[in-house]
Amino acid sequence: MNTPQGASPVTATRPTPTPLAIASLQPELTGLNPDAPVKLRAQDVSVRYGDRMAVRDVTLDVREHSVMAFIGPSGCGKSTVLRCFDRMNDLIPGAAVEGRIELDGEDVYAPSVLPVEVRRKVGLVFQRPNPFPMSIYENVAFGPRRHGEQDKARLDDVVERALRQAALWDEVKDDLRKKSGLSLSGGQQQRLCIARTLATDPEVILMDEPCSALDPIATLKIEELIAQLKADYTIVIVTHNMQQAARVSDRTAFFTLGEDRAGYLVELDETLRIFTNPANQLTEDYVSGRFG
């Protein structure tokens, strides 16, 4: 974790996007490395819920070990696109995904691909912290157990490593089996959910407004965490908080609602450019607060 990204938590503690100006001078350190392989790709992706088109014609790619932020007004399809990458849209009756979603160049929606396998590689952190009503230990061990790990010593290791990675270990190490995941504070619960995801050893972590139910201090901790996790994982985060997008992400995708009430991708660029000098007037209006 002592890679140059160690500097990023500093970025996360500042409320303004200025530190990114420095970061962008060193693209290879910020997840803007143009040589990094493409981890996730959406090609002409449209999602319908029954007759209603939720989001249309989205094409974007996310490079390995980078953080991409999805911003935009409510209902513009950010979460919908996010949930294509781990096929969680499959759970919604009537949802239909068109176009192509790739993970490492492989079609995630190919008939031979099992959603379960996709979700083992692509973790999801939900908007509302949703730990299981079980002990802290069992929460983190849930994924590995379901994937067949039974060895107690190895499970102990995985649980400790995941909790350390999620910066929660020191706060809970004495109560692993004594306390329910639900007895933690909101911010701790969300870090527990992140630890639970990390324990399944994913390659990609999707975060669906992970801080919207948290107070500013808990939010800051999650943002610091994201900056650290970037070294080992590819992260896509949906957020309503534009400062958060500015603080944590390398690139930002701005979505909005079209006249047909379907969401679409307006602009995708380096985060700094989106917030300082966007190409599209709609983006400009949104990031400067003139929207709606």
* Cα–Cα distance for residue pair 199/210, rounded to 1 Å: 18
* Nearest CA among 58, 2, 43, 49 for reference residue 263: 58
Nearer to another protein, 91 or 217 (CB): 91
**Smallest separation (angstroms) from another protein to the CB of 80:** 15
**Where would I find the H helices in the chain?**
8-13, 19-23, 27-30, 78-82, 115-121, 136-146, 152-165, 169-172, 186-198, 216-229, 242-248, 271-276, 281-287
**Smallest separation (angstroms) from another protein to the CB of 4:** 31
Nearer to another protein, 137 or 275 (CB): 137
* Nearest CA among 288, 287, 289 for reference residue 267: 287
**Smallest separation (angstroms) from another protein to the CB of 289:** 32
| Pair 166, 191: CB distance under 8 Å | yes
Residues at the interface with another protein (CB under 8 A) = 86, 88, 91, 116-117, 119-120, 123-124, 126, 128, 130-135, 137-138, 142-143, 145-147, 177-180, 193, 196-197, 200
Nearer to another protein, 48 or 179 (CB): 179
**Smallest separation (angstroms) from another protein to the CB of 100:** 22
Nearer to another protein, 87 or 251 (CB): 87
**Smallest separation (angstroms) from another protein to the CB of 239:** 18
* Cα–Cα distance for residue pair 84/133, rounded to 1 Å: 27
Nearer to another protein, 203 or 269 (CB): 203
* Cα–Cα distance for residue pair 265/85, rounded to 1 Å: 16
